[in-house]
Structure 1
């Protein structure tokens, strides 16, 4: 008969079993952290080129058009275009022959190359619509394979800027949007599987976004120096769709949605609209190189924003997500005010020599502060979004992340689309309204998931 262990021996066995469990848990957590780090570095490498292209794309194509106009070779194609597009005399109009010729040349060049805002709008519209199919694709193919294949569409998109003819540029933009939906749904669910709790998700998402924001450094460092002194430069899928919508009609998601929509509009603003406004503010000395400096400071802000959730996780966990959002919004609002004071309102649309509304010239120091605040605020908001999805939609994270990306990308696409006709003042007013409404709905959302 087996001896019954004494109380002392029993306690000793329990301690040893506990040590083994803690050791195994530590080993598991170690590998999960390693996975988060590898994911972060992989995304950093892919998005180093993509974000640089995205932030400067509109400006690059506009510069290409200017250069082409100046060096336009008069051939049969131009003569044919010229004969049907030469402006007719209007009553009371007094423009010279040279001005008419320049106008025709600009129109001829405009139809030869695509538009950066339209390209990015197509990316995010396709991104938005493709999120319905993303959970099924990720479940069938797997996280890693999905992310690898989807990343290839980013590379192809970047290559289109070598010769941005409209048909090819816009087709690849749509393909990139498709890949983006699969990539980010897989990334969000992958990060969830490496976490499990809100605190771990906050740490892991902070780690990921801190590393990810480094993607803004290298490419924009290149721009800052290289552009110095330059003047221009998809029966299962149907089930997936309705499952996603069944999340959508819950009280939690309806309260969370405004925050996501604001996040998407902000994404469009800081990755495309503001850098364009910097480059177009010709009242700023060396404005072209400042686009790279702007991207660099946005990356620094993002790294620091992600870093506070990693290295300062014990302190940050003492604060509620509502408190974090409110504090971050104060910084966000100050940034929006300085955007209006420091740039001509039309700078997001076209190059201008106008003075800003608040100063006699565009202040480089404020450009750096605004860029830093853009990166910092976006990373903090993103951390709050990821941790809230993990806690608020446990067991449904794949669908929740897909819906999140749908709303986020849709809002971002709208931002790019309307920026062909709205100025910075309207941009700031829209973001302010979205921010206030998102805070009003985010507070009861957090109260519901805290119960």
Structure 2
């Protein structure tokens, strides 16, 4: 039996990310709650989760310009492994309650995030073609987002009291650090992308075909390759497609901030949710993950079959309407001061845990709609420039996330929802226009890009 090596690579990548981000996304959901519990025991400890996350995404944004240069020398596999090590170190740093250490490790994680996500984009593209890009992006997203389940289910059962004591925190930090280390070990086993092999070296190729070779990257000296990758990223940033898609990227960064660092904590700060309201932090994360997985499975894996002649815009519009529902329900259900600390205030209706979980599910489902289609579109538009294209995606996304985490320390829930409402209209319109324009200009009789490099982002 011939093993589909590229698909195996995608699966290893997906499960490795799932383990690493089970640790990180769970910590992101509960970080503000955890830090507040430490402050309750030690009033001199004033670390703020929103500042930590703002540092992460600020450094992440800056280093996205350098990540393609790093990958041009090391390759995507080394970049992915380096980044995953940074995630494990960040989670481990919580064992020591020190503000300076937390913020320093947040900066380290920002560097690692740029490496792991840019490397992931290139590695996923290298192991996909036009026919499998949407499927692989959907499979990756669905498996990756199962990370929301295990960690948050664990938190749901741990957070049974209104206060989180030192013993509970130690258990949480130990489990999450262990998961990050296991995921890092799995990512060490990633295989070299098959597209970098000659066709004769690939499995299942007859000797008669050995003369046909897959495209090899141009051999350059390390310094030359580094500089070339950096300048290519700058040039690509100012192309029309990237400038337009930056509105979509920015929206995903803002809503990433909201669902990963603000919303679940806001639910856990609303005392009107009833007895055991702290446990809703973990339950909210579970429902976000459920929405992510279902959205990734439906609109990532099956989108190419369901919308074969339409492209990704119906999926993005679905995400648009689902997120609009989420914003309205959150506006009605939670008080304006919910993101900051425990509050006795109520929203415009009686606080409902069921409606809160529906909002969580909608946030995750809509996020999957946007992200699976962005991955798919970038993988098709920028086959030759996958590393800088994904780096620029993460640059715009992380700049928006850093800014959002910064103003989350002072902006009430209503202001944050208003910002999301404005940017979702801009981001959705930009995506639909770019895809429409690409379909008008694309040659319908394309040669498989895995064998002949005929498609360039400059053509779009």
TM-score, normalised to structure 1's length? 0.81
- 1:191 is aligned to 124
2:346 aligns with one of 355, 367, 370: 355
Q: Distance in 2 between matches of 1:311 and 1:196?
A: 16
Q: Distance in 2 between matches of 1:239 and 1:143?
A: 16
- 2:15 is aligned to 41
User: Which ranges of structure 1 fall in alignment gaps of 5 or more residues?
Assistant: 1-22, 69-105
CA contact (8 A) 1:209 1:303 kept: yes
CA contact (8 A) 1:252 1:448 kept: no
- 2:401 is aligned to 412
In the TM superposition, what is the alpha-carbon distance from 1:398 to its structure 2 partner? 1.1
In the TM superposition, what is the alpha-carbon distance from 1:376 to its structure 2 partner? 1.1
- 1:247 is aligned to 236
Asked if 1:55 corresponds to 2:29, the answer is yes
Q: Distance in 1 between matches of 2:403 and 2:308?
A: 34
**For residues 351-430 of structure 1, what are the structure 2 equivalents within 5 Å?**
351-357=342-348, 359-360=349-350, 362-430=351-419
- 2:6 is aligned to 32
- 1:163 is aligned to 96
Q: Distance in 2 between matches of 1:251 and 1:193?
A: 24
In the TM superposition, what is the alpha-carbon distance from 1:313 to its structure 2 partner? 4.6
Listed one character per residue, the Cα deviations across residues 35-92 of structure 1 (whole Å, up to 9, x for unaligned) are 1111100001111111111111111101111133xxxxxxxxxxxxxxxxxxxxxxxx
In the TM superposition, what is the alpha-carbon distance from 1:310 to its structure 2 partner? 2.0
- 2:285 is aligned to 295
Asked if 1:176 corresponds to 2:167, the answer is no
- 2:158 is aligned to 226
Greater gyration radius: 1
SS of aligned partner of 1:391: helix
Q: Distance in 2 between matches of 1:175 and 1:231?
A: 30
Q: How many residues align?
A: 380
In the TM superposition, what is the alpha-carbon distance from 1:113 to its structure 2 partner? 4.0
Runs of 4+ that moved beyond 6 A: none
Q: Distance in 1 between matches of 2:122 and 2:338?
A: 39
Q: Distance in 2 between matches of 1:276 and 1:302?
A: 19
Distance verdict in 2 for CA 1:117–1:292, change over 3 Å: same
**For residues 20-169 of structure 1, what are the structure 2 equivalents within 5 Å?**
27=2, 30-68=4-42, 106=43, 109=44, 112-169=45-102
2:297 aligns with one of 284, 299, 307: 307
In the TM superposition, what is the alpha-carbon distance from 1:232 to its structure 2 partner? 4.8
Q: Distance in 2 between matches of 1:317 and 1:300?
A: 25
Q: Distance in 1 between matches of 2:264 and 2:303?
A: 30
1:201 aligns with one of 133, 146, 158: 133
Does 303-312 or 277-286 show the bigger shift?
303-312
Q: Distance in 2 between matches of 1:348 and 1:318?
A: 43
CA contact (8 A) 1:113 1:164 kept: no
Q: Distance in 2 between matches of 1:396 and 1:434?
A: 27
TM-score, normalised to structure 2's length? 0.80
- 2:147 is aligned to 215
In the TM superposition, what is the alpha-carbon distance from 1:238 to its structure 2 partner? 4.5
Q: Distance in 2 between matches of 1:391 and 1:323?
A: 18
Distance verdict in 2 for CA 1:139–1:240, change over 3 Å: closer
User: Which ranges of structure 2 fall in alignment gaps of 5 or more residues?
Assistant: 166-222, 442-460
Q: Distance in 2 between matches of 1:294 and 1:143?
A: 33
In the TM superposition, what is the alpha-carbon distance from 1:163 to its structure 2 partner? 2.4
Q: Distance in 1 between matches of 2:236 and 2:380?
A: 14
- 2:206 is aligned to none
Q: Distance in 2 between matches of 1:321 and 1:366?
A: 29
Q: RMSD over aligned Cα, in angstroms?
A: 1.6
CA contact (8 A) 2:323 2:366 kept: yes
In the TM superposition, what is the alpha-carbon distance from 1:243 to its structure 2 partner? 1.8
SS of aligned partner of 1:283: helix
- 1:272 is aligned to 261
In the TM superposition, what is the alpha-carbon distance from 1:380 to its structure 2 partner? 1.4
CA contact (8 A) 2:10 2:127 kept: yes
Q: Identify, as 1 or 2, the structure richer in helix.
A: 1
- 1:88 is aligned to none
In the TM superposition, what is the alpha-carbon distance from 1:312 to its structure 2 partner? 6.1
SS of aligned partner of 1:415: helix
Listed one character per residue, the Cα deviations across residues 392-448 of structure 1 (whole Å, up to 9, x for unaligned) are 223111111111111111111111111001011111110111111112222221122
